[in-house]
Every structure is written in structure tokens, then in C-alpha cells.
A and B are shown apart, each in its own frame.
Chain A
Amino acid sequence: MTTTAPTPTGADLPVHDNRKAFAEELAALARVDDRIVAVCNDSVGSSNLTDFRDEFPDRLVNVGIAEQDMVGVGAGLASAGMIPFVCAAAPFLTGRSLEQIKADVAYSQHAVILCGMSPGMAYGELGPTHHSVEDLSWLRALPGLDIVVPADRLQTRQAVRAAVEHPRPTFIRVGRHKVPDVTPEGSVLERGRFQQLRDGRDITLVATGTLVSRALVAAELLAAEGVQARVLNAWSIAPFDVDAIEAAARETGGIVTAEEANVAGGLGAAVASVVGQLPGDSRVGLRLLGLTEFAPTGSTDFLLEHFGLTADSIVAAAREVAGRG
């Protein structure tokens, strides 16, 4: 029996900025692998690359405020055998240089590691120009590009390490909005496989990035009501774990997705496209939580609540889908 419910945002747990784990892991790997270079657009500070620059001044390529050139330079470095981590605020990295990501990285198959810093609505009050909530939609349309959304510090480190061990065209969302650790001790990332953090048969909660810890809180709240939720950490948006979604549709009573991104093309759309193509008797109820419009002014926490991206909203959606609303 639960005596004290966790707060809806999991704020009772220590929270962390994933960019720090990213920078530490990158520097640690760069010490033993001189193929690693960092490329940025004047974002040395906001990409947490100050220490990297001080330690490896020749291997930090700052092209200035020129994102198209930045991604092209990354492709050139990769084509010559380097492992470039191209770091920039996610909205500018993906939006301004989308055609470079398409032609120079994904279609050319140059193993560039695109690191979208401060994604989602991490820049809160700076507004929609600085939010990166379209990135998952845009990039999911590009064959041959892995899309990785680490949920916490450990997954951020694992994503950086995987990129060095098996370089391939990859976009990593490196979160700035602080989140608690959710990855179980000793877990590994298996490419294209979601991480099941909790099992249940009544409902499946599929969350990515910032929303994973909130989905776990929601599962606790639902359990207190007698609803057993399966929680999937969709850290790999591409390749997408079709099997996990098919299993969720087969084995549980419905699916709720939650993402700090636009649902038109992001995680929710990916889940819907899998479920929608199942035979009629295998389809289940769906609710897709995410953005559908440009954000108003507000802090990241305010905006997450504004768009219903909280544990309480996930619980409400789950109740509806599970027929208990």
C-alpha cells in the first residue's frame, strides 16, 4: 500500500543535466581514440565542450554560427575516417541543416554523430524558435539515420560509447532539462530495442526522454488504483522497436505514448503506424501525448504541464484508454 505518492514530476529524486554526462564520456573516449573530433557552431559553452576544447584544442572544430557548413564539415571528417560529434542546439542543428542531414549524412551514409543539445522545450521561455519539438518528426523520415533519445545520464553515456564503437549516422538528443536516473543498474542498450522498465497487462506507457521518469511515476499512481502498467523506454526512435509495440498491443489493454515533441511524426505517430497496421482484432486503444501547436511563453516545467506531459496527465490518458476514465 502506497502511503506517500511520488510527486507528479518525480521531483523527490535527484535530477541531472545529461549534457554533463555527455561531455565527460566524450572526453574520456577521446583520450584513448584520436579519431574523435567535436564540431560545433559557436556552441562551445552550451554544448559543454569547454573542457574538451582545453584538452584537445586541435580536435574541436568551431565553424562559427553556420549550421549547414557544420554538418557538411562533419560529413567530410567522417568520410576521412574521423568520428565527428557535431554538437549544436537541437533546433538549429536539425532545422537549419535538415538537407545536409538528409544528403550528406543519411543518404551518403557518412557516420556523423549529430548531437542535438537542449532538445524539446528545454529553452522554455525563449520560445518556439528555440524549441526542438519537430526533430523526431523530421529525422524519422530519413532512412539510415539512427535516432537516440537517452532518458538519463547512464543512457547518455551508453549512446556516446555506442557511437564510437559502431560509428553510423546517428542523431542523439542530449537533454538539458534535468531528469532523474531511470536506467536499472547493469542494463545495456540493444540497438533498436526499447527498454522495459516495468511490466503490466492493463496498459502500456511508451515514453521517451524527459517523459520516461514521468511515465514511471504514472505507473506507480496507476498501481495504487489497481491498474498494472507496462512501461517502455523508447530510447531508440530509429530503428523503431516494432516488436515491442506489437507485443504491447497483443498483451496489454491499450497504449499511451508521451514525448516532449510534436505528435505529428514523432514517437506517437510511430506507435500509431504500427498499431494501425495490425489485424483488426489486435488493435488497441491509443492516446498520444505531446505537442500539437507552438508553445506559449513559459518555463520548461510550465510548458510540460501546459501540454499535458505530466504523470497525472499520463494517468488520466491511461484510465481513458483502459476504459476506466
Chain B
Amino acid sequence: MLDTDVSQATAWSEFRSRLDEVDDTERDELLAARARAVRRDVVGMISGAGQGHIGGDFSVTDILTALFSAVLRIDPTRPDWAERDRFILSKGHCSAALYATLAETGYFSRDELTTFMEPLSALNGHPNRNKVPGVETNTGPLGHGLPVAVGQAIAAKLTGTGARVFAVMGDGEMQEGSNWEALMAGAHHRLDNLTAVVDRNRLQQGARTEDTNGLDPLDEKLAAFGWEVRVVDGHDFSALIEAFGPSTTGSPVAVVAQTVKGKGVSFIEDRVEWHHKVPTADQVRTALEELA
């Protein structure tokens, strides 16, 4: 298990306090700068490892940045704190963005990021909770995160910790039946402490979702399953932070975050081949310039 990076955790804590002090415009600028730093880390990790899922990493980065910097009630120096909010990245193939975010938050040293997918690294291609603090459950096969999140939300109700639970799914992942089992259970049990986020980048590994096994109208489907649905721009920090607010109806909340796969780097954006393509040295240089 990796160790907390105390100085990084302190820096995160100070950053978080600063977000509370500034107006929304400045807050969003600070978060955007932080998200660019995460994306730069991801570029380095994936080019170093020679593999990864850069498109989905970039579509989910702003969601992760908003949650870890401005929403989740967490303490990276106490990853086992019983009353912490829970976060599950169900789309576990986007581990690079998660690891970069967790390191930025102080769960472990940023130096560790260079080991991404190296032999015996804690930073496997898909996250392992027994190696990486801040990871709540092992994901990778799709359709696993939301059922676990339902269980965590039920536990929070039973124990009265007041913890909230967030799970982020890819949109292609919503083709998995287990998600719809969990959506039924979440609504049935009135889990108003649970938020399911769909990273709606409209692309899956081989093609557009709507050309594969169409999801639209996703918002109406989620609403029909009994969830309080919020459709937002998944790259607008104010909109995300508002959408991550508590339920107003007593039902669990589903956030459809409309995103761009590959967001932030022009030649990667919205291109199906960049699901898991690896940038060349020249492309790395260009990408880092665009993310400066």
C-alpha cells in the first residue's frame, strides 16, 4: 500500500481552502489550471508506459478535479476515515486520470506516477484498492462500480455516518445490465446520499455509442428509473459542482456530464481511435503545449 504524501496533502488542503475564499469565476480558473496539470501528468504517464486510455482519461478529468478539489468530504491523510465520502471510478480503465488526481490530492507521492504500469508498480492499468489509498474498490470490468456504490450508500444510511457516495461510469458502460439493476435498487431504497455520474462522451472503444447500442435518451431513461437527473456540461466546473450538490427530492441523483472524449488536446478530441492510442514524441510535445 502506498503511503500518504503529507506535504502534498497539505497543499491540497490549502488549495481547497482557497477555493472557498474566491468567487466562482476565479474558482473555476483555479480548477481548470489544476485539471490541465492532471492532463499533463496523464500524457507523461501514458507515453511513459506506452499504453493507456487517454481519450476517456481526458473526458473524465474535469469531473475528477471538481469532486476531489471541491466536493468530496475526504482526508487524504486518513484514507480509512469511517465517515469519508466514497468515490468509485467504475470506468477503471481511466486509471491514469484517477492516479494523477489522487497524487495531486496527497494520497501518495507524485513521484509514483512515473511507475504507471511498470512491472510490480502499485499503479496497475486498473485500480487496486489494496495497493492504492483513495481507491475504494477494484474496477476494470465494466458495470461493477454502481452496485458497490449502492451498497456503500445503504451502509452509510444504516450507520448514520452522513457519508455521500459518488460513482462515475463511462457512457458505453451503461450498456452493461448490472448498472440498470443497481439503478433500480438505488431508487427503490431512496438513496438520496448517492450520486451516479455518467461521463457522456458519446464514444466507446470501437465507435460512437449511438452507432453501437444507442443510449439516448439517457436522461429520460434515468428519470424513468426514479433518479433525480441533472444534465450538465461536463467541462464547466460551476455546473459540475452544482450538479454534485445533494438530492432535492429524496431520490438518488444521476448526473449526465456531457463531455468531449480527449478534451483539452485538439488532435485527440472526439476521435474514436484515441480511446487507447499512445501519443508519439512529437504529439506529446504538442499536447503539453496545448495543456500549458
A interface, CB within 8 angstroms of B: 37, 39, 58-59, 61, 63-64, 66, 68-82, 84, 99-100, 103-104, 107-110
Contact, CB under 8 Å: A110 / B137 = yes
Which residues of chain B (151-174) have a CB below 8 Å from chain A?
A: 151-156, 158-159, 161, 163
Q: Which residues of A contact B154 (CB under 8 A)?
A: 61, 73, 76-77
Known A76-B149, A100-B144; judge A69-B137 contact (CB<8 A).
Answer: no
Q: How far is the CB of A30 from chain B (nearest CB, A)?
A: 12
Other than the known A75-B137, A80-B155, A107-B138, what 14 A-B pairs have Cβ atoms closer than 8 Å?
A58-B158, A59-B158, A66-B184, A68-B178, A68-B181, A75-B151, A76-B147, A77-B151, A78-B151, A100-B147, A103-B138, A104-B137, A108-B130, A110-B137
Contact, CB under 8 Å: A79 / B152 = yes
Contact, CB under 8 Å: B150 / A73 = yes
3 tightest Cβ-Cβ pairs between the two chains A and B: A76-B151, A72-B147, A80-B155
Indicate if B35 sits at the interface (CB-CB under 8 A).
no
Q: Which residues of A contact B82 (CB under 8 A)?
A: 80-81
Known A58-B158, A108-B138; judge A66-B148 contact (CB<8 A).
Answer: no
Contact, CB under 8 Å: A80 / B159 = yes
A79 to B161, CA, bound (A): 14
Contact, CB under 8 Å: B159 / A81 = yes
16 CB-based A-B contacts, threshold 8 Å: A64-B181, A68-B177, A69-B150, A70-B147, A73-B185, A76-B152, A76-B153, A77-B151, A79-B86, A80-B156, A80-B161, A100-B178, A103-B139, A104-B147, A108-B137, A109-B129
Q: Which residues of A contact B185 (CB under 8 A)?
A: 63-64, 66, 69, 73
Please, which residue of chain B has its CB at the minimum distance from the CB of A73? B151
Q: Which residues of B contact A61 (CB under 8 A)?
A: 154, 189
Indicate if B136 sits at the interface (CB-CB under 8 A).
yes
Indicate if B222 sits at the interface (CB-CB under 8 A).
no
Known A68-B147, A72-B182; judge A108-B155 contact (CB<8 A).
Answer: no
Indicate if B48 sits at the interface (CB-CB under 8 A).
no
Indicate if B143 sits at the interface (CB-CB under 8 A).
yes
Q: Which residues of A contact B128 (CB under 8 A)?
A: 107
Contact, CB under 8 Å: B138 / A104 = yes
Q: Which residues of A contact B139 (CB under 8 A)?
A: 103
| B148 contact from A37, A82, A104, A107, Cβ within 8 A | A104
Q: Which residues of A contact B86 (CB under 8 A)?
A: 79-80
A110 to B153, CA, bound (A): 16
Contact, CB under 8 Å: A64 / B184 = yes
A79 to B153, CA, bound (A): 11
Instruction: Tell me what chain B mostly uses at the interface: helix, strand, loop, or mixed.
Output: helix
Contact, CB under 8 Å: A69 / B155 = no
Please, which residue of chain B has its CB at the minimum distance from the CB of A37? B158
A157 to B94, CA, bound (A): 43
Q: Which residues of A contact B143 (CB under 8 A)?
A: 68
Q: Which residues of B contact A80 (CB under 8 A)?
A: 82, 86, 151-152, 155-156, 159, 161, 163
Known A66-B184, A66-B185; judge A79-B130 contact (CB<8 A).
Answer: no
Indicate if B102 sits at the interface (CB-CB under 8 A).
no
Indicate if B146 sits at the interface (CB-CB under 8 A).
yes
Please, which residue of chain A has its CB at the minimum distance from the CB of B179? A69
Chain B positions 115 through 150: 1 when the CB is less than 8 Å from some CB of chain A, otherwise 0: 000000000000011100000111111011011111
Contact, CB under 8 Å: A104 / B144 = yes
Q: How far is the CB of B263 from chain A (nearest CB, A)?
A: 28
Q: How far is the CB of B156 from chain A (nearest CB, A)?
A: 7
Q: How far is the CB of B31 from chain A (nearest CB, A)?
A: 28
Chain B positions 169 through 209: 1 when the CB is less than 8 Å from some CB of chain A, otherwise 0: 00000000110011011001100000000000000000000
Which residues of chain B (242-270) have a CB below 8 Å from chain A?
A: none
Q: Among the interface residues B136, B141, B185, which one has the most CB atoms of the partner chain A within 10 A?
A: B185
Q: Among the interface residues B139, B140, B148, B151, which one has the most CB atoms of the partner chain A within 10 A?
A: B151
Q: How far is the CB of B284 from chain A (nearest CB, A)?
A: 32
Q: How far is the CB of B181 from chain A (nearest CB, A)?
A: 4
Known A77-B155, A81-B155; judge A72-B150 contact (CB<8 A).
Answer: yes
Q: Which residues of B contact A84 (CB under 8 A)?
A: 151
Please, which residue of chain A has its CB at the minimum distance from the CB of B188? A64
Contact, CB under 8 Å: A75 / B148 = yes
Q: Among the interface residues A37, A39, A72, which one has the most CB atoms of the partner chain B within 10 A?
A: A72
Contact, CB under 8 Å: A69 / B147 = yes
A107 to B135, CA, bound (A): 13
Please, which residue of chain A has its CB at the minimum distance from the CB of B161? A80
A101 to B140, CA, bound (A): 14
Q: How far is the CB of B281 from chain A (nearest CB, A)?
A: 35
